[in-house]
Amino acid sequence: MLASPTREQIERNYEAAQVQYKALGVDTDTALARLNETPISLHCWQGDDVRGFEVKEVAVGGGGIMATGNYPGAARNGDELRKDAAKAFSLIPGQLRFNIHAIYAETSGKRVDRDLLTIDHFSKWVEWGKANGVKLDFNTSLFAHPLANSGFTLASADDKVRHFWVRHAIACRRIAEAMGRAQRGPCIINHWVPDGAKDTPVDRWSPRRRLVKSLDEIFAAPVDRDFCRDFVECKLFGIGSEDYVVGSHEFYLGYGAKRGINICLDMGHFHPTETIADKLSAILTFSDSVLLHVSRGVRWDSDHVVLLNDDVKNVFHELVRGHALGKTCIALDFFDASINRIGAWVIGTRCALKGILNALLEPTGMLQEMEAKGDLTAKLAMVEELKTLPLGAVWDMHCLKRDVPVGPAWIDEMKRYETDVLRQR
């Protein structure tokens, strides 16, 4: 058993922390209330290594993304995935949403191609969401399909291929709209398109023109945007698209600005030393909303489990400092098949939440005043002093209040579930 603090210790530590933060003008209770109002969307694809439940004649991979590892216990169907997600949810405090990819349709053993998917194929997800008070988000799946093998989907020069994927994306928007109606609130739908080339394409222009055409066709389909809220996600490179990705950052920034579609920023989709924190104030000066894929790039991979690192802290600092938390849809995007998959969800989500809390506990007004007065030394010194304040004591109180394990106690619960459920699969 991993030792966790007792209730008395948690309360005592919280009271001491409260005094320390109060001295800086920060109210810890207010910070916790705001944290609790901030939803995070957990990605279904961590539970089964982005495999999905499609009935296929042959397994097809690709699309520039890949989960590596063979840790036992991946979910094999919707019931297992829902059960695993519920276990993860029980170990994470706060309002959680669940983010479904189109390949997680449940078609009762029938082969239904992606352009023919409807809300009926997601009825189990909708029922589960309703029964558990979990709102759903959605994604088009333009990979791991014979018509994606060429490396081009919506930007394909083959009209048959391009039309197929346009029909798929429109079908997905209708599904998102129906999910939104069922949950009486928006369903966030993300459009990520893997199209690109491995090496030195000499025509970078035509695929981009075709992607514009496809996106225009997709967004022209009438859906109620109160329920279906679209975002487009850029990328710098993928496996097999190292040299060129059609939907690059500049492409979607331009497309979004011109067409009034908001963009998704994945933290792993930029140059290794480029971070998204500085992009938020620029983008949100012009857009009313942004979707975040909280992720962690490591060298060539963009999808390691999220940790409480400076990148995560800085993203949430920017959002809180800019009063932009409410304009931001926060989702997670990573997949690691080399560790317990529930553990991956819980580590990543708890770290993202700690990142938000860390930002909410900042005496931003005080720092901004120092900066405005030109006292840059004091500002820098304060920024560093703040780093060792007792964030953990406030976080523990949050877990206690929300009735989820405090400290490392969740690791024991995860292990128990692994023995009882995952290793029996």
168 binds ligand RNT (CB under 6 A): no
Nearest residue (CB) to ligand RNT, 62 versus 94: 62
45 binds ligand RNT (CB under 6 A): yes
How far apart (Å, rounded) are the C-alpha atoms in residues 52 and 78?
Answer: 9
Nearest residue (CB) to ligand RNT, 233 versus 311: 233
Query: In this chain, which stretch among 230-238, 318-326, 372-380, 416-424 interacts with ligand RNT, using CB under 6 A?
Result: 230-238
Site string for ligand RNT, 133-152 (x = CB under 6 A): ------x-------------
**Distances, alpha carbon 152 to alpha carbons 19, 233, 274, 423, in Å:** 57, 16, 26, 38
The DSSP symbol for 225 reads T
269 is annotated as an active-site residue: yes
Nearest to 167 by CA among 110, 233, 116, 229: 116
192 is annotated as an active-site residue: yes
- Decide if 219 contacts 230 (C-beta within 8 A): yes
Query: In this chain, which stretch among 218-226, 231-239, 376-384, 391-399 interacts with ligand RNT, using CB under 6 A?
Result: 231-239
Cα-to-chain-centroid distance, residue 316: 14
159 is annotated as an active-site residue: no
Length of the chain as a residue count: 425
Nearest residue (CB) to ligand RNT, 65 versus 188: 65
Nearest residue (CB) to ligand RNT, 237 versus 316: 237
Interstrand relation of 244-245 and 296-298 (parallel, antiparallel or unpaired): unpaired
How far apart (Å, rounded) are the C-alpha atoms in residues 191 and 179?
Answer: 16
Q: Which two tokens stand for residue 405?
A: 């394990």
Which of 168, 191, 235, 249 is catalytic? The answer is 235
Cα-to-chain-centroid distance, residue 388: 28
Radius of gyration, CA atoms only, the chain: 22
- Decide if 417 contacts 401 (C-beta within 8 A): no
Taking CB within 5 to 8 Å according to partner kind, which of Zn ion, ligand RNT, none is near residue 235?
ligand RNT
410 is annotated as an active-site residue: no
The dihedrals phi and psi of 270, each to the nearest 5 degrees, come to -130, 180
Nearest residue (CB) to ligand RNT, 84 versus 233: 233
163 is annotated as an active-site residue: no
Query: How far apart are CB 359 and Zn ion at their closest, in Å?
Result: 22
Site string for Zn ion, 263-302 (x = CB under 5 A): ---x--------------------------x---------
Provide DSSP, 88-102: HHTTS-S-EEEEEEG
- By the 10 Å C-beta count (0-12 exposed, 13-18 middle, 19+ buried), 203 is classed as exposed
Out of 49, 195, 311, 333, point to the residue binding ligand RNT (CB under 6 A). 333
- Decide if 309 contacts 42 (C-beta within 8 A): no
Out of 87, 235, 249, 313, point to the residue binding ligand RNT (CB under 6 A). 235
235 is annotated as an active-site residue: yes
**Distances, alpha carbon 242 to alpha carbons 64, 70, 208, 271, 356, in Å:** 9, 25, 16, 12, 33
50 binds ligand RNT (CB under 6 A): yes
Nearest residue (CB) to ligand RNT, 293 versus 398: 293
Out of 48, 49, 195, 266, point to the residue binding ligand RNT (CB under 6 A). 266
Query: How far apart are CB 233 and Zn ion at their closest, in Å?
Result: 6
Taking CB within 5 to 8 Å according to partner kind, which of Zn ion, ligand RNT, none is near residue 173?
none
Which of 54, 177, 266, 318 is catalytic? The answer is 266
How far apart (Å, rounded) are the C-alpha atoms in residues 407 and 360?
Answer: 20
How far apart (Å, rounded) are the C-alpha atoms in residues 24 and 369?
Answer: 13
Nearest to 193 by CA among 115, 141, 254: 141
The dihedrals phi and psi of 232, each to the nearest 5 degrees, come to -115, 135
Out of 192, 244, 270, 395, point to the residue binding ligand RNT (CB under 6 A). 192
293 is annotated as an active-site residue: yes
- Decide if 47 contacts 75 (C-beta within 8 A): yes
43 has which bridge partners? 99
233 binds ligand RNT (CB under 6 A): yes
Query: How far apart are CB 153 and ligand RNT at their closest, in Å?
Result: 13
333 binds Zn ion (CB under 5 A): yes
Taking CB within 5 to 8 Å according to partner kind, which of ligand RNT, Zn ion, none is near residue 336?
none
**20-59: contacts with Zn ion (CB under 5 A):** none
Residues that bind ligand RNT (CB under 6 A): 45, 50, 65, 101, 139, 192, 233, 235, 238, 266, 293, 302, 333
Residues that bind Zn ion (CB under 5 A): 266, 293, 333
Catalytic site positions: 192, 233, 235, 266, 269, 293, 301, 303, 333
